[in-house]
DNA sequence: CTCCTGACGG
DNA sequence: CCGTCGGGAG
């Protein structure tokens, strides 16, 4: 495990991506990005994220927003039922926490629209807390690397969750660095179709290649 | 056709 | 635990 963890960080330059939402530790800006990124490609989110923060720069402005206007802004992303989450989450945080984000997973999970993944990202990025984070990409990488041969919806598989937990606990870096590194690795190298084995820094230890 | 930094209701 | 939501890109 320390091997894959180390390799993913050290070869970061091979698959580095950069996004605006990675330059903030403001939980509000992180939450907005994560809402938009659910089942959605990051490049697709870029212009929408800019538009959204321009109109709704802080949590108070969203709490007073017109949901129809939010829906209009995020329409290019699909999954339009998400538009309600933005306002409900903002209202909830203002009502329960006077506008200041809580820093425990238990509390974060009570925020409308915030599930296991978004809560984990907020903890890791905004509060530098090492927590288990599993998305469909991370699950795919671990499934392949360790030769688990799982199919279908593998994100909630117990073994995958354990491995991800180990992966993050073995990283001697900010948890967000591991998060961004493995997501970029999975998006650019360990792709769903036609993974790029030729330039993959993990191929020597990866059971999927063999 | 599959897939995208998932969350929710049933 | 499982089906579903969704537009856009490849």
Q: Are residues A52 and A110 in the same domain?
A: yes
User: pLDDT at position A9, please?
Assistant: 94
CA atoms of A126 and A157, how far apart (whole Å):
27
Amino acid whose CA is nearest the C1' of C6: A78
Q: Is residue A191 part of a domain?
A: yes
Q: Are residues A60 and A118 in the same domain?
A: yes
CA of A94 to C1' of C10 (A): 41
List pLDDT tens digits, range A91-122: 999 999 999 999 999 999 999 999 999 999 99
CA atoms of A142 and A161, how far apart (whole Å):
9
Among A112, A127, A142, the domain-final residue is A127
List pLDDT tens digits, range A44-88: 999 999 999 999 999 999 999 999 999 999 999 999 999 999 999
pTM: 0.94
> Which window residues (6-35, chain A) lie with Cβ within 7 Å of strand B?
17, 19, 21-22, 33-34
Domain count of chain A?
2
Q: Are residues A24 and A109 in the same domain?
A: yes
Q: Are residues A164 and A112 in the same domain?
A: no
CA of A145 to C1' of B10 (A): 35
Q: Are residues A68 and A166 in the same domain?
A: no
Among A82, A106, A127, the domain-final residue is A127
User: pLDDT at position A158, please?
Assistant: 87
Q: Are residues A95 and A58 in the same domain?
A: yes
CA atoms of A75 and A72, how far apart (whole Å):
5
State which protein residues have CB closer than 7 Å to strand C: A 39-41, 43-44, 75-81, 156
The domain in which residue A103 lies consists of 20-127
The pair of three-digit structure tokens given for residue A190, joined into one six-digit string: 């360990």
CA atoms of A75 and A108, how far apart (whole Å):
26
Q: Are residues A7 and A27 in the same domain?
A: no
Check whether A190 has a pLDDT greater than 90: yes
Contact (Cβ atoms closer than 8 angstroms) between residue A56 and residue A66: no
List pLDDT tens digits, range A135-162: 989 999 999 999 998 887 788 888 999 9
Within 7 Å: CB of A151 and strand B?
no
């Amino acid at each position: 495990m320390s091997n894959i963890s180390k390799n993913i960080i050290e070869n970061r330059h091979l698959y580095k991506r950069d996004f605006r939402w990675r330059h903030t530790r403001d939980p509000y800006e992180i939450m907005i990005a994560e809402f938009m990124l659910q089942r959605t490609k990051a490049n697709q989110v870029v212009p929408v994220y800019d538009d959204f923060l321009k109109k709704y720069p802080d949590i108070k402005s969203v709490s007073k927003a017109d949901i129809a206007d939010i829906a209009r802004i995020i329409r290019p992303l699909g999954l339009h039922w998400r538009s309600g989450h933005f306002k409900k989450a903002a209202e909830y945080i203002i009502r329960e926490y006077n506008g200041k984000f809580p820093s425990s997973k238990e509390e974060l999970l009570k925020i409308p629209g915030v599930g296991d993944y978004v809560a984990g990202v907020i903890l890791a990025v905004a509060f530098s807390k090492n927590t288990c984070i599993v998305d469909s990409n991370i699950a795919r990488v671990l499934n392949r690397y360790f030769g688990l041969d799982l199919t279908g919806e593998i994100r909630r598989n117990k073994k995958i969750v354990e491995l991800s937990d180990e992966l993050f606990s073995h990283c001697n870096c900010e948890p967000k660095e591991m998060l961004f590194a493995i997501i970029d690795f999975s998006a650019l190298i360990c792709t769903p179709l036609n993974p790029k084995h030729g330039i993959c820094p993990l191929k020597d230890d990866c059971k999927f290649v063999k």
